[in-house]
Amino acid sequence: MKPGKILCRYFVIIVLMFIAQSSFAQLALQADDPPRKTNIPEFYKSKLSDIETEIKGLKTGKAKVIATSPGGLPVYAVFYGEKENFQSHANYNSAVGARNPVYYAMKDENTKPVVYFIGPVHGQEPEGIVGLINLIRVAETGKDYRGKAWPELKNFFEQCRVIIIPCGNPDGRKRCPYDSFVGIPQETMTKYGQGTKKDGTLWRWPHSKSLHPMVGDVGILGAYYNNNGINIMHDEFFSPMAEETKAIFKIAMEEAPDIAVSLHSCSCNPFIIQNAHAPYFMKERIADLAQKLNQQYIDLELPNMGQGWGLSISVDDFSPFPQQSFNMVSALHYASGTMAFTFESPHGTIEDGATYDEILDIQLVLYREMFSYIMDNRLYWKNTE
């Protein structure tokens, strides 16, 4: 075969491979979609490339690739402070079976609190990436990317072991065609978040969780999922399907975090979601933090849930089937004893109306309140023998 034909055939193969993989690249907008915003502020760092840049610029924190996504993308964790030696003799649940979690992790006045931030596992919810990149900036310089100083937040890094996963689902984030949903209709976010069926109709929440993995009747694979169609928030935690899930839980089990958050977003005012399957005493702690955080938002005149808002901590359930799923934050508690919860940030859609600055402040105030709460309300696990 002539060299020209070989080259032509090789080119055709490359093009076909590109087309075959195009569903896993950032999706092109359709004709009826609102255009991408071109005036996103520089501090609003929500892209995977922003994470890469931040990782390369670390001076105090140490970064590690903890997993590789099905799309071949790195999942990073950034660590601050030395890992605590908790003198572990057993896994958490076995230690609880022995009537004292100290056999899993000895926590006393001589050990630092461990704080665990899990960035978005849903790729259309980039607000947590914005917050965590700016949190890393605060840890490194004392200021966020607006130049705003957060001295108390910076000081907490000196007192705690901190683990930050900037993005828990880089596949989904890469496919999402929007770097911000500020000023974009909620319906557009839903389209690219939960995806569409082959006939173009939207899967929508919560029906988008009725097919898992999300394979088969799929037009647009929503950013909820990694490239294998796994919704990491609802993985099979007793036998994880996603490498991202395994990595998130490996850190939890090795680090024994005192507090952990899974960062999410919706067209809403910001709020903490109760851990449906945590023990009652942990529900009380989460409800206490949620109320304190909401009051902070009120005092700072940020979007909030209003005066008198609080979380239900009832454990009564008379339904013939579960009303709340055993999701990632539920599993995190039972893997490590951590005070794990979900946080919902506004997207800034037309419906919720949050601004870029408000979204970043909402994130950083959450982080500050988490540190403050665990410093003031730490649970010690001590040997009583």
- What was the pLDDT predicted at 60? 98
Bridge partners, 115 (sequence order): 162, 259
Closest CA to 224 of 179, 271, 192: 192
Q: Identify the band that residue 324 occupies on the pLDDT scale cut at 50, 70 and 90.
A: confident
Q: Identify the band that residue 316 occupies on the pLDDT scale cut at 50, 70 and 90.
A: low
Query: Is 5 among the domain residues?
Result: no
Query: Is 3 among the domain residues?
Result: no
Share of the chain above pLDDT 70, in %: 92
The yes-or-no verdict on residue 317 having pLDDT over 70 is no
- What was the pLDDT predicted at 126? 98
- What was the pLDDT predicted at 17? 39
272: helix, strand or coil: strand
pLDDT average, residue stretch 112-141: 98
Dig out the tokens for 346 from the structure: 């506004």
68: helix, strand or coil: strand
Q: What are phi and psi of 297, to 5 degrees?
A: -65, -40
- What was the pLDDT predicted at 172? 98
Q: By the 8 A CB rule, do 354 and 303 touch? A: yes
Query: Is 25 among the domain residues?
Result: no
* CATH number of residue 256's parent domain: 3.40.630.10
pLDDT average, residue stretch 258-287: 97
The yes-or-no verdict on residue 152 having pLDDT over 50 is yes
pLDDT average, residue stretch 350-366: 98
The yes-or-no verdict on residue 92 having pLDDT over 60 is yes
Query: Is 32 among the domain residues?
Result: no
Query: Is 13 among the domain residues?
Result: no
- One-letter amino acid at 137 equals R
Name the pTM for this structure.
0.93
d(CA 95, CA 85): 16
Query: Is 219 among the domain residues?
Result: yes
- What was the pLDDT predicted at 24? 62
Closest CA to 253 of 240, 263, 272: 240
pLDDT average, residue stretch 168-178: 98
Give me the chain's average pLDDT, please: 93
Beta 161-165 vs 271-273: how paired, if at all?
Answer: unpaired
Query: Is 8 among the domain residues?
Result: no
Dig out the tokens for 113 from the structure: 């609190």
Distance spanning both ends of the chain, measured CA to CA: 81
Q: Identify the band that residue 355 occupies on the pLDDT scale cut at 50, 70 and 90.
A: very high
Q: How far is CA 89 from CA 17, 58, 332, 334, 381, in A?
A: 50, 34, 19, 17, 13
- What was the pLDDT predicted at 319? 74
Closest CA to 23 of 174, 133, 156, 151: 174
- What was the pLDDT predicted at 315? 61
- What was the pLDDT predicted at 103? 97
- What was the pLDDT predicted at 384? 76
Other CB atoms within 10 Å distance of the CB of residue 70: 16
- What was the pLDDT predicted at 22? 41
Q: How far is CA 179 from CA 39, 128, 233, 358, in A?
A: 11, 12, 21, 16
The yes-or-no verdict on residue 14 having pLDDT over 50 is no
Q: By the 8 A CB rule, do 87 and 106 touch? A: yes
d(CA 17, CA 3): 21
d(CA 106, CA 116): 18
Query: Is 252 among the domain residues?
Result: yes
- What was the pLDDT predicted at 263? 98
- Write a three-state SS string for 309-373: CCCCCCCCCCCCCCCCCCCHHHHHHHHHCCEEEEEEEECCCCCCCCCHHHHHHHHHHHHHHHHHH
The yes-or-no verdict on residue 350 having pLDDT over 70 is yes
pLDDT digits (tens, 9 = 90+) for 207-259: 999 999 999 999 999 999 999 999 999 999 999 999 999 999 999 999 999 99
> For tokens 């919860």, what's the residue?
341
The yes-or-no verdict on residue 7 having pLDDT over 80 is no
The yes-or-no verdict on residue 32 having pLDDT over 50 is yes
Determine the structural domain holding residue 290 and report its residue range: 41-311+323-376
Q: By the 8 A CB rule, do 233 and 266 touch? A: no
Closest CA to 233 of 184, 289, 193: 193
Q: Which of 1-10, 27-36, 94-103, 134-143 has the lowest mean pLDDT?
A: 1-10
Query: What is the tally of structural domains in the chain?
Result: 1
- What was the pLDDT predicted at 25? 75
